[in-house]
Structure 1
Amino acid sequence: MAFGATARRTNLQTDPTHQATAAPPGSSGLTAQVVASEADFRSLRDDWNALASSSKFQNVFASFDWAWGWWHHVGRDESILGQKSLFIVVVRTRDRVVGIAPLMIRKPSRQGLSVRKLEFIGSTFNDYNDFLLGESQPAVLGALARFMIENEHFWDIVDFRSFPNSSPSPGILRETFAEFALPHRLAPDDPCPYVPITTDWEGVLKTLPYDTRSTFRKKAHRLQRLKDQGLRMRIIEHPQDETELVARMAEVEERKRVHGLAGNRFVRATRGFFEYLFKALGPAGCLSVAVMEQGDRLVAYRLGFRVGRKIWDYTTAFDPALGKLSPGTMLIPQLIDYAFQKGFEELDFLRGDEPYKRRFAKSAHTTWRVMAWKREAASRWKAFMYFRLRPFLYRQRWASLLGLPYAPHGEV
């Protein structure tokens, strides 16, 4: 490739908190450097947001506030997803930042197996990921990829998840990894089902099968009768103004059940992160929360993002005491009506192919996953364990018997 980055190994330490710097790659004028301290991370805010806003694919998960908030409230906490260290790669031409790879090295350790995993900051929380690239995207991404390869002694495996289908990154990474004979695999990742918003809920309902229409109408009728008991549904456009909302959401999540078992309680476990998000993203109009309430009691919620002309449906929970009414699912008609009235073009359910999503969505956005490992035997073994054996155990429902934690997307 015409552009790249060659690391000066004499400056590298075995501890990734030390910076690794790339020498100028020939005449390209590109240099790459690892940002590993929180102070240097914070200093990237303006350049980070400038690159994110220049992307054709608007992505709240690519914003500085999302990454900084996640790192500050989750990344530091080793009890959540294990030990983590920053490995943000910044590409510059002269004094100008032209690319950022928002990465970290995470060290999950289970059953005696420890893996140094190079992945996106907040990867397990993010439904779309990508590098932040300015002009000359192939050149900048080629430099980033070469830099990661030249500094492979910092990691055991690479696991870049949830690239949007429109992203050039997976293809360029594959080309660069192949050029360096680095073992790798490119595969489809979790789909993101979505509903185009061309009509209101009644219009959408007419397109559904008869049995589904009948079920929704019966439940809607039962919910209507509960309005006399103080039941109401509303869309909160400024959740930062409701100071106790995150706490109320965490209480509902505490009662959440999936197949009769306690659900993934990450709002409760990372309450500080979501409180930060409400304050940071709420004033910018990026958040919305659909809620069902009975008096002062929160019965169900759906937390989402307003991204351009799309609504992203991020996470939901409901009180199982009203589970027969499917309160979480019954908030979706409210969201569709809201999206139609406000001129949004799409309701994206984000990653995961849960059955309830397919009741509404007939199409799904494709996302991509790029995996890589080193040629040495230890890295190959860890890649097999992580990418092959572990997902098999989860599919066969053996993970809980072996003491592996709940992992809806298999990333833990």
Structure 2
Amino acid sequence: MRPELVTEDAGLAALRGEWEALWRRASAVPGGATPFASPAWLLPWWGAFGTGMPRVAVAREGGRLLGVLPLYLLDEGGARKLLPMGVGITDYHDALLDPSAPEGLAGALLAAVLEGAARDGAALCDLPDLPPGAALRDAAPPLGWREEGWVGEPCPVLHLPGEELRGAVPSGTPGVPSGTLRKLRMSRHRAERAGGWSAHLATAEEVLPFWEALVGMHRARWTRRGEEGGVLADPRVLAFHREALPLLFEAGVLRLWALRIGGELAAVYHAMAAGPDRLMFYLSGFDEARAFESPGTILLGHVAEAALAEGRRELHFLRGGEAYKYAWGAADRMNAGRRLLPPE
């Protein structure tokens, strides 16, 4: 099969239904596609950040969509380059492939984009944040293209046990230090003495109100630390999330949890389910006035238990080596990056 290129916004919008169906097939298998590859994530990103020209490779066989590689062409500083849609706020990038896709399809999709990029005068193609196992890590570029690589950011992952929960914590969770489990028990006891605690998963009507609460807590915390608004300072980031969150909820992957202590909102956690086996922690906010009860610890413990109850075996903390991730026993997995340069 020979991939085709989608180069206009209208064609991108027309692809949505097929793309959604492909993503559902690809994400249904263990270790399959993540929400970062879904149109529910990438099309809102394009609406908020897309200042270039789509260069999306698609492959079909018998009328069935088997592969999508969503890149775009950006003019920056007098030079043109190719980047993945979602770049900047997306922790894992890859081509989206049907489980039945033939071997080498990722390379064919990449070649289709790069051959077009050469005609467009692109100086390079950057592919950052490729996780272990990504098809694009090994996809061969067209003949004559040169490559440079780099080690990306750590993405710590916590492995969960296979047994049922016992008591208030994940009993025997491999890798979770006993000190962290003691802290979780202590935090829960403190919250009980402060009026009790409860964790609640957002309904469709609660998604945006919970999100706004997360934004307020996150921005207040980072502003007090001297970083105005933190990662939510950019209005485009806020616009993206406000559009994407309801779509992610409809897709069945959003896990937006809220914690209340003494009846008052104390923390919100934005997580996403990735197939049947993984949960990805994306962003959180908590009320620093409740620091004594450690609401972030309480909510993270509860979400880990909920993930186990769903049969999930990995918690992905995504990019960054923050200390709290390792306190839970997570171990690094390294993203990688590739820079592809056209023939001289």
TM-fit CA distance, 1:266: 5.7
Show the counterpart of 2:4: 32
For residues 4-403 of structure 1, what are the structure 2 equivalents within 5 Å?
A: 30-33=2-5, 35-55=6-26, 56=29, 57-72=32-47, 74-76=48-50, 83-92=51-60, 97-107=65-75, 113=77, 116-134=80-98, 137-150=102-115, 151-152=117-118, 153-173=120-140, 176=141, 179-180=143-144, 182-198=145-161, 200=165, 201-204=169-172, 208-209=176-177, 211-226=179-194, 228=195, 232-257=197-222, 260-262=225-227, 263-265=230-232, 269-294=236-261, 297-307=264-274, 308-374=276-342
* Aligned twin of 1:23: none
Partner of 1:18: none
2:232–2:238 CA contact under 8 A, matched in 1 = no
Cα deviation 1:128-156 (Å, max 9, x = unaligned) = 22112345544433333333333234433
| Cα deviation digits, residues 281-318 of structure 1 (max 9, x gap) | 21342111222235675322110112223221111122
Contact 2:106–2:135 under 8 Å retained in 1: no
CA-to-partner distance for each residue in 1:29-77, whole Å, 9 max, x for gaps?
51532x23222111112332233234351311111222112222x124x
TM-score, reference length from structure 1: 0.69
User: Is contact 2:207-2:245 (8 Å) kept?
Assistant: no
**1:264 Cα deviation after fit:** 1.4
Q: CA deviation at 1:234?
A: 0.8
SS of the residue corresponding to residue 189 of structure 1 reads strand
User: Quick one: distance in 1 between partners of 2:24 and 2:251?
Assistant: 14
Q: 1:90, 1:205 → 2: CA distance? A: 42
DSSP 3-state at the match of 1:332: helix
* Cα distance in 1, alignment partners of residues 248 and 17 from structure 2: 16
Cα displacement (A) at 1:249: 2.1
Count of residues in Structure 1 that have an aligned counterpart in Structure 2:
329
Distance 1:304 1:90, change over 3 A: same
Residues 78-109 of structure 1 show CA distances to partners (whole Å, capped at 9, x for unaligned) of xxxxx43322223456865443211123455x
CA contact (8 A) 1:240 1:278 kept: no
Unmatched segments (≥5 aa) in structure 2: none
Aligned-residue Cα RMSD (Å) equals 3.1
Matched letter for residue 43 of structure 1: A
CA distance, structure 1, for counterparts of residue 335 and residue 175 of structure 2: 26
**CA distance in 2 between partners of 1:290 and 1:204 (Å):** 24
With over 3 angstroms needed to count, the CA separation of the structure-2 counterparts of 1:116 and 1:316, relative to structure 1, is farther
Name the SS of the counterpart of 1:190 in structure 2: strand
AA in 1 matched with 2:16: R
* Cα offsets for 1:190-247 (capped at 9, x unmatched): 2322222225424257964454444444433322222x2xx63313153544552222
**Once the two structures are aligned, what percentage of the paired residues are identical?**
22
Q: Which amino acid aligns with 1:372?
A: L
Hey, what's the Cα distance between the residues in 2 that align with 1:193 and 1:355? 10
Counterpart CA distance in 2 for 1:373 and 1:210 is 49
Cα distance in 2 between the residues matched to 1:245 and 1:90: 36
Which amino acid in 1 is paired with 2:209? E
Offset from partner CA, 1:331-387 (integer Å, 9 cap, x none): 2111122222333222221222221111113434443322223466xxxxxxxxxxx
Q: Which has the higher contact order (CA 8 A, sep 6+)?
A: 2
> Larger Rg: 1 or 2?
1
Q: 2: CA distance between counterparts of 1:125 and 1:277? A: 13
Partners of 2:160 and 2:173 in 1: CA distance: 12
Unmatched segments (≥5 aa) in structure 1: 1-28, 77-82, 377-412
Distance 2:87 2:247 in 1: 20
TM-score w.r.t. the length of structure 2 is 0.81
Q: 1:350 to 1:206 in 2, by over 3 A?
A: closer
Structure 2 contact 57–109 (Cα < 8 Å) conserved:
yes
Does the CA contact (< 8 Å) of 2:152 and 2:335 recur in 1?
yes
Measure, in 1, the Cα distance between the counterparts of 2:174 and 2:34. Answer: 32
